[in-house]
Amino acid sequence: MALIEQGGLDGRSLLAEDPDHPGSLGIAISEAVMMAVADPQARYALGSVLNHVLQQTVIGEEALLQLAKVGENPDVLVGCTGGGFNFGGLSFPFLREKLAGRMNPTVRCVEPAACPSLTKGEYRYDFGDTADLAPLMKMHTLGHDFIPELIHAGGLRYHGMSPLVSHIYEQGVVEAISVPQTECFAAAVQFARCEGIVPAPEPTHAIAAAIREALQAKESGQEKVILTALCGHGHLDLASYEQYLSGAMVDYELPDEQIATAMRGVPVLD
């Protein structure tokens, strides 16, 4: 494992230096690539943030058909967004219809306030992992050296955003907001009490945004069709709910100085 020894970016060495190190998906990707390189029998397929993974659009296609059966189109579509594949899977079929002029929903990415790559990141070429082993991609990024706070939505703790999602955001085709985790868990508890389903921490961001939108529509007297997708259950995340319900959960608002520090390591390309 010469690469690990040289880079010092494997999880064990980082934990040895700092037992409270929160880790990141960027570090996990680096470690996976290093292990694949060291084993001639191993293969590693990068996922989540890469464009080919965003083509898992069956859920969006099914949602289109389900809405057509009741004669509705969404006025607003919200999706949790970390690397982009859940958001892309739901929204891309609707964006196709929007760009073709057949409907006109507002499409909104919802990301954690502690890891806001779209709303606070820069649109740059950057590495997909911490050790500079993955390909350079043009994406919204907080810098591949960025280590997110240990929020409970682990799947959204990534420094960058899919190139496709980054592109359509840059073009103004979609919107983006960031939501703090206590608001997300409050929305999750409300959802669980109403629907009998405990959501995973990741989709709670979209649930919180949907509730915001519904309350605004109620206040204005507008009727709106709001679409989101519940992309995971929280049965393995009950400790997070316990922390929220006990009042121990706190919000993290990412300071600009932390972003500026991480962005210093992003390549400058002519």
pLDDT of residue 51: 84
pLDDT of residue 96: 97
The mean pLDDT of the chain is 91
SS3 211: helix
**pTM for this model (two decimals):** 0.90
pLDDT of residue 20: 82
pLDDT of residue 127: 93
Strands (E), 42-95: 76-80
Between the CA of residue 24 and those of 186, 218, 263, what are the distances in Å? 25, 39, 16
Q: How far apart are CA 270 and CA 256, in angstroms?
A: 25
Q: How far apart are CA 148 and CA 114, in angstroms?
A: 7
Q: Per-residue pLDDT for 18 more than 90?
A: no
Residues in the chain: 270
Could you give all domains of the chain from N- to C-terminal order, each with its CATH number? 2-38 (no CATH), 51-263 (3.40.50.1100)
Q: What percent of the chain has pLDDT over 90?
A: 66
Is residue 17 very low, low, confident or very high in pLDDT (cuts 50, 70, 90)?
Answer: confident
Q: Per-residue pLDDT for 6 more than 50?
A: no
SS3 177: strand
Type of residue at 122:
E
Span 165-189, pLDDT tens digits: 999 999 999 999 999 999 999 999 9
Span 102-153, pLDDT tens digits: 999 999 999 999 999 999 999 999 999 988 888 899 999 999 999 888 888 8
Q: Per-residue pLDDT for 197 more than 50?
A: yes
Q: Per-residue pLDDT for 5 more than 50?
A: no
Span 45-57, pLDDT tens digits: 877 788 888 778 9
Going by C-alpha positions, the residue among 140, 85, 144, 146 that lies closest to residue 117 is 140
Mean pLDDT over 36-46 rounds to: 89
Is residue 3 very low, low, confident or very high in pLDDT (cuts 50, 70, 90)?
Answer: very low
The set of residues, in sequence order, having a beta carbon less than 8 Å from that of 41 and lying 6+ positions away, is none
